[in-house]
Amino acid sequence: MKFKTENSEKNNTPYSDAVELKEFIQFSGMLGLDENGLIEGGIVPETEQIFKNLKANLDYYGLDFSNIVKSLVMIKNMDDFPEFNKTYLKNFDKPYPVRSAFGVADLAFGACIEIEFLAKK
């Protein structure tokens, strides 16, 4: 196993950014954070930032969005799901990754959304 800890070490957080397991890479849950903290503006800007962060993580491994095979979406307000979906679908082509989505009571930093991703090399 190979752990990616570049961002987690920089931010002094108690988890790894990702773990490489043979041909799979499991990414930790991502929030709409940049170097200044949580992006303002709600579900759409946060989701856009998550995909910017995902792109940087995929680049680290020499991968792109087509390598994503699964996502797990945790969303604070299910009324935001249609807007989230529009932004989400801008990043993937068919066939889409498999996906699970859950409404949750709260997320770290007061975020609207958190997404975990699994990629295959």
pLDDT 10s digits, 53-74: 999 999 999 999 999 999 999 9
- The tokens of 109 are what? 């930093």
3-state SS, residue 117: strand
CA–CA dist 56, 26 (Å, integer): 14
Q: What is the pLDDT of residue 96?
A: 96
Answer yes or no: are the C-beta atoms of 15 and 9 closer than 8 Å.
no
Query: For residue 26, is pLDDT > 90?
Result: yes
114 φ, ψ (degrees, to nearest 5) = -140, 140
Report residue 17's pLDDT band, with 50, 70 and 90 as the boundaries. Answer: confident
| Residue in 97, 99, 100, 90 with CA at minimum distance from that of residue 120 | 97
| Angle between helices 43-60 and 81-89 in degrees, nearest 10 | 30
Q: What is the pLDDT of residue 22?
A: 92
Mean pLDDT estimate for the chain: 92
Query: For residue 15, is pLDDT > 80?
Result: no
Burial string for 81-118 (b: 16+ CB within 10 Å, else e) reads: beebeebbeebeeeeebeeebeeeeebeeebbbbbebb
Please give the DSSP secondary-structure letter assigned to residue 42: S
Answer yes or no: are the C-beta atoms of 36 and 26 closer than 8 Å.
no
